[in-house]
Amino acid sequence: MREALTEFLREVRAAGIPVSLAEGIDALRAAAAAGVERERLREALAAAMVKDEIDRPTFDEVFERFFSSGSPRRPKKRRVAARGAAGSAGSGQQSSGAPPARPEWPRRTAAPAVRDAERRRAGEYPREVERRRARRLLLAKPFRELDPLEAEELSALAEEIASRFRGRMRRRLRPAARHGRLDFRRTLRRSIEHGGAALELELRRRRPGRIDVVALCDVSGSVRHATDFFVALLGPCAGLLRSLRVFAFIDHAVPATIEAGRLIPETVMDFHAFSDLGQTLVELEFHYASALTRSTLLLVLGDARNNRRPARADVLGRLRSRVRAVWWLAAEPRVRWGTGDSAIELYRLHCDAVLECADAGSLLAALERLAR
Amino acid sequence: MQITEQEVRTGLRRGRYVTTARVETAVFVALVLEKPLLVEGPAGAGKTELAKVLAEMLSTELVRLQCYEGLDEARALYEWNYQKQLLRLQADRTLEAGSSWQTLSKDIFSREYLLERPLLHAITAERRVVLLIDEVDKSDEEFEAFLLEVLSDFQVSVPELGTIPARHRPVVVLTSNRARELSEALKRRCLHLYVDFPGVEKEAEILALKVPEADEALREQVARFVGRLRKLDLKKAPSIAETLDWCRALLALGIAALDAAAVRQTLSLLLKHEEDIRKAEPKIASALSDSRR
């Protein structure tokens, strides 16, 4: 039995469900406890192996295949071969004569493989799992591949995420008073109520977060979705930062405000212009340098595609010397950095961090770093 | 732990918890392996109830730790009763000046001055308890990491007292609505169970148990109608508790059979979002005609 289960475990892993060694051992113990009655065996194994309902249909499929055809020790077909490396596809099925070559087991799941399986299985889950699955796919989808409908879904999702994100930020930037230092004066004053015994300690509240943020957001078509998502998350957090200034740019730096999760430029912008970050940086330095101080964190959100205009990375270098740090949130996958008219390699030299933010999930992760 | 699956089944049934083979097996395995059971599923599908029934089944106490954003160790594990310590110090001063610092410090850092929070209570209880860690997805990542430590060793270290090992390993049930992804490490340490809404028959069975006053035809209709509602893409699908409330309300209003007017009048008991109500209203008639069949 143990042998069969070990074999089964391998099959489950090969199908893309991550099962750790410890979980494998749990599965063996669970099977020993539950016995061989089919239904019970399946549920016991699933409880130990499947930690995400998204994987359940795949698990059931493997279970059916493995334990259906006669003796469990000899699974008749190994469809895994077809799914695995293309090179070994044929060899797995040959059964006559020589022992069949063992198909190559695909290595432990890479996340994209799971996602593929999820895509295939649209509509097979309980409603709530289905919703979560869709959400996960949406967060992992590159901004540039979003269609209008998905973009709309993403902005609805952003709203939902934003409130939780704000809560997290608040707790990190302003820890609860219980961890603060003793406020001696207020404690003494309270102690009078209790005849001089300091029964209630008053703690000094931490001052609001010390970060000044200046965000420079590309609003041209190519990164529009990224900017929308960024703004929807950052907007509600404005009150947690000491200050937040936002500039929108395509070929000029335009001061902007965030209202109800949307970016509103203060003057009219030419949305058909070609991106020109060099010019934008020059303007930022010339007109708005007073916004940049030693406590400023300068965030630049954009793809650094400059239409082969002067990058003026030197200006960014000078700006960096004025501020605490410069973070570049690159709205493009890393593989495309530096290709074509991308000037990111030039800017990179003057950034304290360049974060890959090609999809909503990674942009969210980048923003979480604000509170660290 | 010595228990048979039959005992689990009858125990759950005695606790009036209508369930599936899937739930029974998972609970049984969790009890035998003495592993925490992570229960996931939509809100209102009976996750918390499962832990309550489990406590009843094992005829023991249920210790509940409700998670929320910002929950920290002081609220979950223990805290020194500062006020009591202070009073002790002051009382000491007036009674006798002679007591040495050593006896005093040993005194005020003893169990008497420790405020037990749910986790510590579950570990130090006289008998094995059921520890329900409710909505663990609502807690912060930091707290989850801390929880991991407690769940793997079942011991707690209080710097002033030393390590307190568990007297009895509690039966641990965690529930989650997936407000966020739980860490892999936590999931690895738990057995997993997904509890979905019951099907129409199961729900009718639940109604029969909990609202026996309603006659069978009404129960059937209610279960069917709610089942149909859950298939719509709603913000918040009606929970089992809401189904029960609705059925009781129908009885109180003296409605013996569902019709469109009655449903419209009472729909706000099932759906709590204006949007959902608007979405469901045009479909009432068709859902009803289905539920009569």
The whole-number pLDDT of residue B159 equals 84
- The two beta strands, A253-259 and A243-249, are antiparallel
- B91 vs chain A: nearest CA distance in angstroms? 11
CB contacts, 8 Å: A40 with chain B: 5, 21, 25
Of A234, A250, A274, A225, nearest to A367 by C-alpha is: A234
Q: What is the pTM of this model?
A: 0.75
Can you tell me the ipTM of this complex? 0.85
Q: What is the pLDDT of residues B253-264, one digit of tens each?
A: 988 888 888 888
Of B50, B34, B76, nearest to B170 by C-alpha is: B34
The whole-number pLDDT of residue A280 equals 92
The whole-number pLDDT of residue A175 equals 60
Helix (H, G, I), strand (E, B) or coil at B78: strand
Residue B129 has phi, psi (to 5 degrees) of -115, 170
The whole-number pLDDT of residue A2 equals 83
Q: What is the pLDDT of residues B2-38, one digit of tens each?
A: 788 888 888 888 888 888 889 999 999 999 999 999 9
Termini Cα distance of chain A: 50
Q: How many helices (H) and strands (E) does chain A have?
A: 14, 7
Q: Point out the residue among B29, B72, B230 whose CB comes nearest to the CB of A30.
A: B29
Token pair of A86, please? 């293309």
Amino acid identity for residue A72 in this structure: P
Q: Point out the residue among A23, A46, A128 whose CB comes nearest to the CB of B42.
A: A128
Q: How many helices (H) and strands (E) does chain B have?
A: 15, 9
| Pairwise CB contact (< 8 Å): A30 & B40 | no
Q: Point out the residue among A30, A50, A197 whose CB comes nearest to the CB of B33.
A: A30
Mean pLDDT of each 10-residue bin along chain A, 372 residues long:
89 90 93 89 93 88 82 46 39 40 39 47 65 83 89 89 85 65 86 82 70 91 90 89 91 90 88 88 92 91 88 92 93 89 91 91 88 71
Residue of B93, B137, B139, B192 to mutate, testing the A interface (most A Cβ within 10 Å of its Cβ): B192
CB contacts, 8 Å: B8 with chain A: none
Token pair of B198, please? 């019951």
Strands of A93-250 (E only): list them.
212-218, 243-249
The whole-number pLDDT of residue A125 equals 65
CB contacts, 8 Å: B233 with chain A: 127
| Pairwise CB contact (< 8 Å): B180 & A164 | yes
| Pairwise CB contact (< 8 Å): B25 & A178 | no
The whole-number pLDDT of residue B95 equals 66
Under a CB-based contact definition with an 8 Å cutoff, are residues A352 and A358 in contact? no
Residue B171 pairs in a beta bridge with B130
| Pairwise CB contact (< 8 Å): B191 & A47 | yes
State which residue of chain A sits closest to B194, comparing Cα positions: A53
Helix (H, G, I), strand (E, B) or coil at A278: helix
Please state the domain extents for chain A: 2-71+111-138, 180-208, 212-371
The whole-number pLDDT of residue A98 equals 41
Residue B2 touches partner A, C-beta closer than 8 Å: no
Residues of chain B with pLDDT under 70: 1, 94-99, 290-293
Token pair of A210, please? 């010390």
Termini Cα distance of chain B: 47
Pick the CATH number of A212-371 from 2.40.50.100, 3.40.50.410, 1.10.287.1080, 3.90.580.10: 3.40.50.410
Residue A330 pairs in a beta bridge with A302, A356
Of B195, B260, B274, nearest to B221 by C-alpha is: B260
Tokens 């990111």, residue located: A344
Residue of B90, B191, B235 to mutate, testing the A interface (most A Cβ within 10 Å of its Cβ): B191
Cα–Cα distances in angstroms (integers) from residue A284 to residues A258, A281, A302, A307, B287, in the given order: 19, 5, 15, 19, 61
Q: Point out the residue among B21, B32, B42 whose CB comes nearest to the CB of A43.
A: B21
Cα–Cα distances in angstroms (integers) from residue A177 to residues A182, A201, B78, in the given order: 10, 10, 18
Q: How far is CA A132 from the centre of its chain?
A: 14
Residue B231 touches partner A, C-beta closer than 8 Å: yes
Of B63, B98, B76, B54, nearest to B145 by C-alpha is: B76
| Pairwise CB contact (< 8 Å): A33 & B33 | yes
Q: Which helix (H) or strand (E) holds A355?
A: strand A353-356
The whole-number pLDDT of residue B244 equals 93
